[in-house]
Amino acid sequence: MRSIRWQTVWSSHSIATDTWYHYVVGIHTSDQLTGGWIQLWFNGVPQTFADGSTQYHCRRWSR
């Protein structure tokens, strides 16, 4: 059994009810540990992840 360790890499802005928001997610898959990445835009603005970058590098696909 594999244990999954969760960590927060991005937190959302405050959002209101009855309001439309536009999220865009860019994903580049890789089976390498840091070969893949994720990008996130909120209402047309690139979001910054916990490490200060706009691209979160990580494995996005396993064999």
Query: What residue segments make up the domains of the chain, in order of their start?
Result: 23-58
Has residue 62 got a pLDDT over 80?
no
To the nearest whole number, what is the mean pLDDT of the chain? 83
Nearest Cα residue to 19 out of 49, 42, 47, 46: 42
Mean pLDDT computed over 8-22: 86
**pLDDT, tens digit (0-9, with 9 covering 90-100), for 25-44:** 999 988 777 788 999 999 99
The burial class, CB within 10 Å (0-12 / 13-18 / 19+), for 40 is buried
pLDDT at 26: 95
pLDDT at 6: 67
First to last CA, the chain: 17
Has residue 23 got a pLDDT over 80?
yes
